[in-house]
């Protein structure tokens, strides 16, 4: 267990460093934007206002409220303090709603949509890839080009195709939103059913994209393992095929777990765009709105949450990886 603890602490320290770095980038980059966002709100609010001293007062009041009149470093420490208390400031575009409030309502949608979709896609993809490597022949010849083509479609492309076929033409599923526009979120059957129906298209569009990429990776890993010496040796020894296949897929699986950790960032970004296509009320849609509204507190907080989500998922995968890969235990106990 000592080896694991070292591995775990090492990973944790590394993720903390990364998080601090990402946090700083998150703070600085949106604030480097040219133009004064406060001026934009004030000009919107002060439309028709003629006295320039009045305008100036309004401006100063808002600059004070958003803290843009202080030096950058001071702003940063105020920001850190606020974030620790869960206060991400006030949204510019949806003033006077707070950023935390907006995020709270969209985060759950994104988490419930993306993580099940990515995991289901990963499992189906790996199973198909392993089958293609093992069965070869016709199955492989059909599956491979299809997987390559599907994994090359951008995530939004798959989303649009599903939307047009099943939403617009067949009218099986609704085309946009997270629930019926005439419903109020509540724990009633009608609402739940509406959520489930709205869930299908975004979910499957993400799953299908994930399947393609994972199947390709798994197939080449499994082929590589199937040709390796230990498989040949086991065959000579007369070990049953079923048992060998078990070994092979356990070994081929390991790089796929790492692959999931490495590609989870890409997957999430693709899924965010799929959300936009379906106007799903998640983080992707929030980003779109905040970009449209030049709302940097919201952008900054949304990207921070996404980074945190991805970091968390990667950390989890690394920990699981540490348990399932015997080599890590061996390396740590040296």
Partner 1 sequence: MKHFLRQVFRSPNFVIGFVIFMALLLIVIIYPLIITDSPLAIIGQGTFFPPGIYVNTFDSINSSDTYILNLDDAAAKRIASKMDNQERLDMGAWLVAAGIPESEIDVTDTEKLLDQWEKNYDSTKNIPGLTNAKRNYYARLNNSIQGVLSTEGATIAVKNPETGALDEKGFVKQSDYVNIGQVANVRVLPLGTDNFGRDMLTELVKATSISLQIGLVAGIVATLIGLTLGLLSGYVGGLVDDIIMFITNLFTVIPGFVLLILISFSIGQDKRGAVTIAVVIGLTSWVWTTRAVRSQVISLRNRDHVNLSKLSGHSVLHIIVADILPYIASYVVMALILQISSGILAEAGLSILGLGPRTTEVPTLGLMMNWAMIYQAHILGKWWAYFPVLVAIALITFSMNLMNTGLDQVFNPALRD
List contacts with partner 1 (CB under 8 A).
Answer: 14-15, 17-18, 21-22, 25-26, 29-35, 148-149, 151-157, 160-161, 163-164, 168, 175-176, 220, 223-224, 227, 262, 265-266, 268-270, 272-273, 276-277, 287-288, 291-292, 296, 299-300, 303, 306-307, 310-311, 314
Burial group, residue 256, by CB count within 10 angstroms (0-12, 13-18, 19+): buried
Least gap, CB of 254 to partner 1 (angstroms): 16
Write phi, then psi, for 90 (nearest 5 degrees). Answer: -110, 140
Round to whole Å and give the CA distance between 20 and 288: 25
For partner 1, the closer CB: 126 or 300: 300
Least gap, CB of 266 to partner 1 (angstroms): 7
Could you give the residue ranges of the DSSP H alpha helices within 136-188? Answer: 137-152, 155-162
Contact 226, 134 (CB under 8 A): yes
For partner 1, the closer CB: 25 or 197: 25
Could you give the residue ranges of the DSSP H alpha helices within 136-240? Answer: 137-152, 155-162, 189-226, 229-237
For partner 1, the closer CB: 16 or 192: 16
Least gap, CB of 159 to partner 1 (angstroms): 9
For partner 1, the closer CB: 54 or 145: 145
For partner 1, the closer CB: 42 or 277: 277
For partner 1, the closer CB: 58 or 263: 263
Least gap, CB of 276 to partner 1 (angstroms): 6
Contact 210, 122 (CB under 8 A): yes
Least gap, CB of 48 to partner 1 (angstroms): 26
Element (H or E) spanning 274, and its range?
Answer: helix 241-277
Least gap, CB of 198 to partner 1 (angstroms): 15
Least gap, CB of 49 to partner 1 (angstroms): 26
For partner 1, the closer CB: 121 or 167: 167
Round to whole Å and give the CA distance between 166 and 173: 6
What one-character-per-residue DSSP string does 72-84 give?
Answer: HHHHHHHHHHHHH
- Which residues, other chains included, contact 252 with Cβ-Cβ below 8 Å and sequence gap of 6+? 130, 133, 218, 221, 222, 224, 225
Both tokens of 48, joined, read: 């028709």
């Amino acid at each position: 267990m000592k080896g694991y603890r070292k591995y775990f602490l090492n990973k944790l320290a590394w993720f903390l460093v990364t998080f601090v770095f990402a946090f700083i980038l998150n703070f600085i980059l949106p604030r480097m934007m040219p133009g004064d966002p406060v001026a934009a709100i004030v000009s919107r609010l002060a439309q028709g206002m003629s006295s320039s001293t009045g305008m100036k007062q309004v401006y100063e009041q808002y600059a004070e409220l958003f803290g843009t009149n202080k030096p950058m470093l001071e702003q940063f420490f105020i920001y850190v303090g606020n974030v620790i208390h869960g206060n991400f400031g006030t949204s510019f575009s949806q003033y006077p709603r707070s950023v935390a409030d907006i995020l709270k309502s969209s985060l759950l949608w994104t988490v419930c949509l993306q993580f099940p979709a990515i995991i289901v896609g990963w499992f189906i993809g790996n199973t198909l890839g392993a089958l293609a490597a093992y069965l070869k022949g016709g199955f492989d010849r059909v599956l491979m080009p299809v997987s390559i083509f599907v994994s090359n479609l951008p995530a939004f492309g798959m989303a649009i195709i599903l939307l047009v076929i099943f939403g617009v033409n067949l009218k099986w599923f609704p085309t946009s939103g997270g629930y019926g526009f005439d419903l109020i979120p509540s724990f009633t059957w009608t609402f739940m059913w509406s959520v489930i129906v709205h869930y299908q298209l975004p979910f499957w569009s993400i799953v299908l994209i994930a399947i393609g990429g994972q199947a390709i990776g798994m197939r080449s890993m499994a082929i590589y393992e199937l040709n390796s010496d230990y498989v040949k040796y086991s065959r000579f020894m007369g070990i049953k095929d079923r048992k060998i296949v078990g070994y092979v897929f356990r070994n081929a699986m390991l790089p796929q777990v790492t692959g999931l950790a490495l590609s989870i960032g890409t997957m999430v970004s693709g899924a965010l765009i799929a959300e936009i296509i379906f106007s799903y009320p998640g983080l992707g849609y929030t980003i779109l709105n905040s970009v449209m509204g030049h709302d940097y507190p919201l952008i900054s907080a949304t990207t921070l949450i996404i980074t945190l989500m991805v970091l968390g998922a990667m950390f989890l995968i690394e920990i699981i990886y540490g348990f399932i890969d015997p080599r890590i235990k061996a390396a740590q106990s040296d």
